[in-house]
Amino acid sequence: MHNDQLQKEFKPKGAIAFFVLLLILCAGLWFSLYYVMLQKQ
């Protein structure tokens, strides 16, 4: 019963944080190259 309750309330905080950091890193790289392209235009 206790385990069922825990499973229902489980939120993968670590995985979410990792995914969000990955998105931020990806956006950072993408926009840094984008900025270089605009500067060279």
Q: Which residues are near other proteins by CB under 8 A? A: 11-12, 16, 19-20, 23, 26-27, 30-31, 34, 37-38, 40-41
Would you say 1 or 15 has its CB closer to other proteins? 15
H helix or E strand, kind and range, residue 6: helix 2-9
Residue for token pair 């489980």: 10
**How far apart (Å, rounded) are the C-alpha atoms in residues 35 and 40?**
9
14: tokens are 């670590």
Provide, rounded to whole angstroms, the least separation between the CB of residue 2 and other proteins: 22
Provide, rounded to whole angstroms, the least separation between the CB of residue 7 and other proteins: 13
